[in-house]
Structure 1
């Protein structure tokens, strides 16, 4: 089950952030993926393997 996600997409993670928000924007992609909380602006770097496991769904695709 491959979930398609791309840079600047807004994704929902399985667990919400401690600030209460569960919408995250992908701001960097590579071996690790950096996501930014859209509630408080905190950013987290997660290994790609963990990210694909913890991501629930893509909420908004980034339009070029």
Structure 2
């Protein structure tokens, strides 16, 4: 019979990786929500401010038509 020892390089169990997965999901949801808010705000900017930013109304429409998960 061979004795087994735990190694520090052993993969994480599902229970140990749960906080990391939760953190990644939280960051992703936060990024999506921020993107949604930024696009909503962009759609409401006046044309003279868009010109200051170097954007056209067509650029804004194209960006605002994207789904929240699209970069």
TM-score over 0.5 for the pair:
no
Structure with the higher fraction of residues in helix conformation: 2
Structure with the higher fraction of residues in strand conformation: 1
Q: TM-score, normalised by structure 2?
A: 0.21
Q: Which structure exhibits the higher relative contact order, with contacts defined as CA atoms closer than 8 Å and separated by 6 or more residues? A: 1
Q: TM-score, normalised by structure 1?
A: 0.23
